[in-house]
Homo-oligomer: A and B are copies of this chain.
């Protein structure tokens, strides 16, 4: 039993080291140019050894993508737990995700490119991330309904509608389009948040 646990831990550590090195290279030269032999040589191991932990390059890509989107999930979870009204939580969350994705595009272009491809190809990592975000929206909406802030019949449906309504502000491809064409997304974001809060039946 003990041995199995230890083996698991060793494997976890090896996976972690591979991902650390892979992520460094993804950030520097992009995921398309980062080869498994290169990652392996940096770690002083054989490519075959890397493949013991990740069956393919795609599996490494997916795992790195998961790290990238996990940061967005963490923002969502932290805001959902903040000691403020549901309205303020939604306000902060919608702004924070937009700004985080925009900063990723500007400062971490290679990671942005990875998420663009992941979204286009519907990687399971992205699907799971979107589901988690919709769940966070739903939780905040339920809270707002209980507090009398929102008037919503079906919080799950409203959460999905919010996800769709913010596609231009969240979706990496659409953000990139705005930034490339010099559009100011800030005023639009504020208006969109106000409009969506009205759909939630926020009084006042």
Contact = CB atoms under 8 A, between A and B. Distances in A.
Interface of A: 119-120, 122, 157-158, 160-161, 164-169, 171, 173-174, 177, 180-181, 188, 191-192, 195-196, 198-199, 201
A164 B181 contact: no
Please classify the interface of chain A as helix (H, G, I), strand (E, B), loop, or mixed, using the class held by over half of its residues. Answer: helix
Contacts of A164: 165-169, 188, 192
Contact of A192 (B161, B174, B191): B161
A197 to B, nearest CB: 8
Across the A-B interface, the 8 shortest Cβ-Cβ residue pairs = A199-B199, A161-B195, A165-B165, A167-B167, A198-B199, A164-B168, A122-B181, A167-B168
A60 to B, nearest CB: 23
A119 B173 CA distance: 11
Nearest to A177: B120
Given A173-B173, A198-B201, A199-B198, A165 B192 contact: yes
Contacts of A199: 195-196, 198-199
Given A157-B191, A160-B191, A167-B167, 5 more contacts: A119-B177, A161-B191, A164-B167, A167-B171, A198-B201
Of A161, A169, A188, A196, the most chain B CB neighbours within 10 A belong to A161
A121 to B, nearest CB: 9
Nearest to A163: B168
A182 to B, nearest CB: 10
Nearest to A189: B164
Contacts of A196: 161, 165, 199
A13 to B, nearest CB: 35
